[in-house]
Structure 1
Amino acid sequence: MATADVHSSGLRRFSRFLVDENRAQPGRANVMLRCVFACAIVITISMTLQVPFLALSLLVVFYVTQSNVVMTRLVGVVFVVGVTVAIGSAILVLKLTFDYPLLRILLSAGLFFVSAYLMRVAKIGAAFFIVGIVVIYVQSFVDLTDHAEALIRIVLWVWVAVNYAIAITLLINTLCLPAEPVEQLEDAMLGQLAVTRSALAHLERGERGVVELNARAIQDGTLTLQRLLRFATMRDANYRRRQAFHLARVATVSRLYAAAAHLPESMANIPAGVLHALGGACERFAHAIRTGERFTVPERLTNIVDLGMPGAVEEMREAFLAFASRSAAPDSMETEQEEQRFLVPDAFSNPVYLQFALKTLLAAMVGYLFYLATGWQGIHTIMLSSLIVAQPSLGATSQRGILRIGGAALGSAIALAMVVWVVPRLDGIVGLLLMSLPVIALGAWISAGSERISYAGTQVMFTFGLALLGQFAPTTNLTEIRDRIVGILLGVAISTVVHASIWPEAEGEALRQRVGALLRKLATSLRQQEDAISAPNALWAELADCEAMAARVALEPGWQMGEGQREGFQHHVQTVLAQTREILLAAGAFEAERRSQPNGEGSAQRAAAIWATTVAVSLEGYASNLTGGQQSVHAPAPVFSDDEALLLTDAAKRAYDRLTARATRLMGLVSTLPAWRDHQFFDNGIAT
């Protein structure tokens, strides 16, 4: 019964994961439509003009189509450069070594090794990924024919199939449904301002609780604005020239959005008309974003005599005043940033990069040896898988392998159903499009999701295309479907074993160190009262990086520790990260109340400083023990006295009570950080 309960719980978690990852999100349908439109044109052109490698052309469409025009063009240019270099290198290798198989393999292996190395150290690693893919893929062409001219023709058709698909994709993404990052950024800011304005309106009407904002929503909103600002800066020269202004605008929206999450329960201590004025300021701010006009603060917010307002309300007021001062200042002429280096700083000093390239090469050569020994032409994807699933960490490699297998299985199942029931009834290009486009739309929808599932969508489409779109006539050959899935399974298995057995790049310890560093940064911000604009945004971004690393660590092969040890490690990581998210939100609320305390009430400020220091010491102690590998790590329970409150006036006492409540909430969260038990202290899942 216990086993059945575990399986049932696992299925429920998996179903929730699928539902959450496939929800409709802003811009997702746009990406899907652009993919489908471009793929429809590519299928029509390839079938009409008989351009080979249609599945490869469709794969390029999926890779190049990005969330906005900036990234689409950047990836498109990188792919053109990469495939041109790759085809040139492959032709050069064939010209020099066509009659010398051993020399051909050695030279190709050398190029593959260099490509895998540059994938890790170069700024445009995607270009060298393409070089490695083409170099190893061409080796399977050599076994198809012994005519040099025919072989060169095949290689050149690869260049045509890739580059014309890139041209079509860039044209579609420029003319049809373009997703401009500037517009996306403005829409995102307007959406968060609308939520803030709604929260203020509900509070003014006494309808507290109608607008719910949690720590996850605040984190996602902050990171979305930061990401879109980066893309907008790349796209628009005006954004680059006024980057500081636009950064201040984004940070102001983030401050307002976060403050809306901890508005008070009632209007007590809020001067009359302030909430209405804040709502009006939100409308003015939204108008300034839409039109580009200068933002001005409503007079009601600049002439508030009554002190001791709730911290969230005062935080919103300060955010508007600060931005109004910034927008009134002249634009600074910002200097061009220093050109980025082509390679990472430790490209030649860190042995990890060479080890990664050697592991990837070994996996590819083992797959190629199996391919030659069996003479099984259909499993040539065994070599491609070695490079496709190779990732910087063991968990990321496992994640990519799982997505590749899952996507290939789904794509193969769909292809099998089409071969049995649909293909015999096809009689033209219209029927082919009606059969293919729904599958492409499914793959594009999945591919437009988060990194946890996106590659599976690409694999669904590619496997389906290899099985049914590889010829210029209907096919009923089921062995193609079988061979593709067998090649993928073998390639993923070989690559996973090699990467896990030789110089494994596990991230478990690095994750502990990074979580500890995040807690120390939070402690530092509490001690120093860092700028409210920059510090929270950086902390949210760091938390997101930790969560992404935790997701990869959860997929690392666990044969070096027992299943109970793995579960214990993952449980503690997820608990600490979830608690840290709530601590970040509570710390923001505490700092807002801290800054809103009336001037001159020194006792309240002293108490706030003491409490902030107490929390900081607790966080630093927990982080030190966490990163030091202690057997058991407990956060001390902070205790404080409110004797200072006796010295306050009645008006300040109400503000002080709110500060006390925020401090109590923050300290309670810190004191309940879970005990951490390192996996080395587990034995068969039982703590010793």
Structure 2
Amino acid sequence: MNNGDTQHTSVPHNSRSKLWFGTSLAQFLKVELKDSPGRRVAAFRLFIVALIISLVSQTLHVPPLGAIALLICLSYDAYANSGQALAFGMRQLGYIIVTTLVSVFTLMFAGNDAWLLLPLSLLIMAVALFHARLIAWPTGIALWYSVAVLYSPSTPEQAIYNALWNIPIIGVLAIGSWTVVHWAIKPQDPRNQLKASIAAQLAAVETIFTARLADGGVAIHKQVASKLFSAGSFGKTLCLLANTELVHPSMRKQHDTYLALLLEIDGLRQMAIWLDQVLTAEYRAQAMTQEKLDVYLALQSACAKLRQGIEESRDVSGQIEVLLTDEVLHSYSLQTNPSLLTAIWRAQQRIAVLMHDLHNPAAAPEVKITEAEIDSNEADGWFPAWFGYEFWATHADSLQFGIKFSLGAILCMLIVESLGWPDINTAIPTCLVAAQTSLGADYRLSILRVSGAILGGLCAYFYVLVFQSQLDTIVGFVLATAPIWAIAAWISSGSERIAYMGRQLGFSFATFVLHDFGQVTDLSVPSDRVIGILLGIGVMGVLDYALWPRRSIVLARHHSVAALRTLTKFTTRLPDLSLMLKHTLPLRLSAEKDLAAAQDLVIHAVLEPDARLTYKANERTALRAVIEAAGNLSGLLQIRRRYRLLSGQQFSSFPDELQEHSRTFDAALTSALENAALVLQGQQQEALTEVADIHAQLKQSYTEHHRIDSLPDDLAMEWELRFMLDQQIMELIEQIQRMAVNSISYRLKAGSTID
């Protein structure tokens, strides 16, 4: 017992930093409430939506529905472009129809039989939450169902009326006004955003080439501050493409060409940034030969032309063909000598061809990517995947998620009914709103929910005591409530670290002032709402901690393991360029998704009950290092794959011995990454082959075959860059292995289990 005691001392952190992401409250608010042009537009949209809902609520005598509609609107993305707003509105409208039908059917079938209504409701909400978790979408169906069915289970007739009318009214009032406002107030065309995103990537590459041209002893330029890999960035670009295709349906015919173009531009950016990062100041200061200067000048000019073509939506492939002639490239790099500049050169040529295909779709070759090609792990067969055991074993966590939070809503409904206190029924949706990815995320959201509810209640009391007695017209009501709607909209338009507080502030205030038509007389509404929220949080806190607790650090470790296993597939050599899109794209998205989730979970882990114990803090630090290294490794492995395919390397013409060394090195990298994943899972470490020794043999084989020692300095440097890429990959894998061992050892020394 004493051996573990030393591990359970508290980490000397300031208590406030745990709640405010490592800063003081003043610093947190300064950052989260900061002004920006984009935030002004987003907040103004939410403000207009809040005014519309409050006016409709008061003039059409539907006050109780106004507060719920307002919460729904404040919960949606205020920065959504027109395509995103349309997609969200259409999907939510479909969910409203489904919820209405399911609610009415449930009440008609089991409304008078509590013994049947409760388990049926548990099943329906669990399935809705499970589905929402799978597709990473808000829990709208479960939330609306609970409001329609569980708010008044003792009066099924009234509940049927609420389901038939209240849910559609809420949907039209909330989703309709939100969508219309986003299309009316400075609508953002996703196609323009997509073009700006692509142009920004090409501009970054152009800047690197421009600075490289200026290096010749004049001044050492400041390197571009960018990363090879940013978790979730490429996924966001693909979302922009999906939104663009919704607003501009004609683009759907060229979907695969756009995917290939986005992937090629992203790969070009990664190669250019890596080149910019690894060249030393001494090497930059050396004068370039005329042949090398011509290559850089052609690359810089071509990149500028590609950017202009994207910005102006015109075909520049003819100009690129003139600029990127093979004679210029081969005057610097021999065809038998692979180089990184050759890979960048070929990447720009491929981008130009894809841009030509976009402007001349009739002449473009048809490339179809089937679902089977995108996800090779899917089982073949005529029946859906969810009929098999593997599907449910893989998504057991999501299934537990749905059952647990549905059970919490049922328990809260029973408590509210047993107390005969319907005014605290906010406990029921609280259980569903608090349904987050992990225990730490639940706690974070609960803190924001309580804080926002209290602030909204205080604003409501201030409104009653100061303004209400002086108002007798709808104009006065709007003027008096407008500042509160503005504050709620401003906070809600912030980052996810604070946005939910603004939503709850607006909802609490709306629940009070829109509770009934005319002046508010029941001053217990805000306090009852806060009590209901605290009840829901308390019930879910107990369930969440006792029943299948989803510890943030454990989930972060699982996502990290999944990311490492995805990266192992990047080590294989593709036979030709035709497989680049269908093989690289799903791996890129999978790695991004897992690493982004792991990053968020490590942040949420700080809030969990034992987060300040020494071994917990050390474990978080080690896992954070694993996630960062895995992100960097993902970028390097993608560069390595592109180098092999685009650098002019004729692997099939290499001697058999060299090919064998290369395959052995690939297998060693795969084995090392798989071993790191096993260690992170807490499994026994396998015997490792010496990756460095294998790489040394490979390097020697390349040196002898290509006679690198006799090459000119520039061409020898190209090979040094190639070997440096492998060396950085090996070092990152070694770092991941070391941090994985540390992450597990901290937990084992404290006598805690891995899961």
Q: TM-score, normalised by structure 1?
A: 0.82
**Match of residue 318 from structure 1:** 346
Match runs of 1:500-515 below 5 Å: 500-505=545-550, 511-515=556-560
**Match of residue 284 from structure 1:** 305
Q: Does the aligned pair in 1 maintain the 2:43–2:490 contact within 8 Å?
A: yes
Match runs of 1:161-200 below 5 Å: 161-200=170-209
* CA shift for structure 1 position 485: 1.8
**Match of residue 111 from structure 1:** 121
* Closer/same/farther in 2, CA of residues 202 and 334 from structure 1, 3 Å limit: closer
- Per-residue CA deviation, residues 215-248 of structure 1 (Å, 9 max, x unaligned), is 3765454333222123333443222211121112
**Match of residue 491 from structure 1:** 536
Q: Secondary structure at the match of 1:672?
A: helix
**Match of residue 306 from structure 1:** 332
Mean CA deviation greater in 30-39 or 325-334: 325-334
- Per-residue CA deviation, residues 420-476 of structure 1 (Å, 9 max, x unaligned), is 666566665455445545544554455456656554443332223223333344547
- Per-residue CA deviation, residues 139-198 of structure 1 (Å, 9 max, x unaligned), is 44577xx89679947973554243233333332233332233222211211222222222
Match runs of 1:20-419 below 5 Å: 29-52=40-63, 53-63=65-75, 67-87=80-100, 90=103, 103-104=113-114, 106-107=116-117, 110-121=120-131, 129-130=140-141, 133-141=144-152, 152=161, 156-157=165-166, 159-206=168-215, 209-215=221-227, 218-219=230-231, 221-262=233-274, 263=276, 264=279, 266=284, 268=288, 271-296=292-317, 297-302=320-325, 303-304=327-328, 305-307=331-333, 313-328=341-356, 330-332=363-365, 345-346=385-386, 350=392, 352=396, 356-391=401-436, 394=439, 397-415=442-460, 418=463
Q: Distance in 1 between matches of 2:663 and 2:34?
A: 44
**Match of residue 573 from structure 1:** 623
Q: Which residue identity is paired with 1:307?
A: S
Q: Does the aligned pair in 2 maintain the 1:511–1:550 contact within 8 Å?
A: yes
- Per-residue CA deviation, residues 270-318 of structure 1 (Å, 9 max, x unaligned), is 7223333323322322333244433311523223221179965434322
* CA shift for structure 1 position 405: 3.4
* Closer/same/farther in 2, CA of residues 5 and 171 from structure 1, 3 Å limit: closer
Mean CA deviation greater in 331-340 or 514-523: 331-340
- Per-residue CA deviation, residues 116-139 of structure 1 (Å, 9 max, x unaligned), is 323314788979843553444554
Counterpart of 1:480 (choices 525, 531, 537) is: 525
Q: Distance in 1 between matches of 2:595 and 2:209?
A: 33
**Match of residue 668 from structure 1:** 731
* Closer/same/farther in 2, CA of residues 332 and 473 from structure 1, 3 Å limit: farther
Of structures 1 and 2, the one scoring higher in RCO (CA 8 A, sep 6+) is: 2
Q: Does the aligned pair in 2 maintain the 1:311–1:589 contact within 8 Å?
A: no
Q: Distance in 1 between matches of 2:459 and 2:687?
A: 50
* Closer/same/farther in 2, CA of residues 609 and 420 from structure 1, 3 Å limit: farther
Q: Does the aligned pair in 1 maintain the 2:467–2:480 contact within 8 Å?
A: yes
- Per-residue CA deviation, residues 472-493 of structure 1 (Å, 9 max, x unaligned), is 4454765322222221121022
Q: Distance in 2 between matches of 1:216 and 1:21?
A: 27
**Identity within the alignment, %:** 21
Q: Does the aligned pair in 1 maintain the 2:439–2:544 contact within 8 Å?
A: yes
* Closer/same/farther in 2, CA of residues 105 and 65 from structure 1, 3 Å limit: farther
* CA shift for structure 1 position 668: 2.7
* Closer/same/farther in 2, CA of residues 547 and 219 from structure 1, 3 Å limit: closer
Q: Does the aligned pair in 1 maintain the 2:440–2:608 contact within 8 Å?
A: no
**Match of residue 654 from structure 1:** 717
* Closer/same/farther in 2, CA of residues 241 and 448 from structure 1, 3 Å limit: farther
Q: Which residue identity is paired with 1:650?
A: L
Q: Does the aligned pair in 1 maintain the 2:103–2:148 contact within 8 Å?
A: no
Q: Does the aligned pair in 2 maintain the 1:401–1:492 contact within 8 Å?
A: yes
1:7 aligns with 2:15: yes
Q: Secondary structure at the match of 1:583?
A: helix
Mean CA deviation greater in 418-427 or 569-578: 418-427
Q: Distance in 2 between matches of 1:387 and 1:282?
A: 50
1:619 aligns with 2:673: yes
* CA shift for structure 1 position 40: 2.2
Q: Distance in 1 between matches of 2:461 and 2:265?
A: 50
Q: Which residue identity is paired with 1:318?
A: R
Q: Secondary structure at the match of 2:252?
A: helix
* CA shift for structure 1 position 637: 7.6
Q: Distance in 2 between matches of 1:282 and 1:294?
A: 14
**Match of residue 683 from structure 1:** 750
Q: Does the aligned pair in 1 maintain the 2:333–2:339 contact within 8 Å?
A: no
* CA shift for structure 1 position 209: 4.6
Q: Distance in 1 between matches of 2:585 and 2:94?
A: 39
* CA shift for structure 1 position 106: 4.1
Q: Distance in 2 between matches of 1:565 and 1:316?
A: 45
Unaligned runs of 5+ in 1: none
CA RMSD of superposed structures (Å): 4.6
- Per-residue CA deviation, residues 354-409 of structure 1 (Å, 9 max, x unaligned), is 65554334322321232233333331101111222235655554554444334434
Q: Does the aligned pair in 2 maintain the 1:614–1:638 contact within 8 Å?
A: no
Counterpart of 1:539 (choices 568, 588, 593) is: 588
Q: Distance in 2 between matches of 1:157 and 1:74?
A: 23
Q: Distance in 1 between matches of 2:504 and 2:339?
A: 50
Q: Distance in 1 between matches of 2:93 and 2:211?
A: 53
Q: Distance in 1 between matches of 2:212 and 2:599?
A: 38
Q: TM-score, normalised by structure 2?
A: 0.76
Q: Which residue identity is paired with 2:564?
A: L
Q: Does the aligned pair in 2 maintain the 1:79–1:126 contact within 8 Å?
A: no
Mean CA deviation greater in 146-155 or 499-508: 146-155
Q: Secondary structure at the match of 2:742?
A: coil
* Closer/same/farther in 2, CA of residues 433 and 633 from structure 1, 3 Å limit: farther
Q: Secondary structure at the match of 2:333?
A: coil
Q: Distance in 2 between matches of 1:371 and 1:157?
A: 21
Q: Secondary structure at the match of 1:215?
A: coil
Unaligned runs of 5+ in 2: 1-8, 358-362, 373-377
Aligned length: 681
Q: Does the aligned pair in 1 maintain the 2:595–2:631 contact within 8 Å?
A: no
Q: Which residue identity is paired with 1:227?
A: C
* CA shift for structure 1 position 573: 1.8
Q: Secondary structure at the match of 2:188?
A: coil
1:516 aligns with 2:561: yes
Q: Does the aligned pair in 1 maintain the 2:567–2:587 contact within 8 Å?
A: no
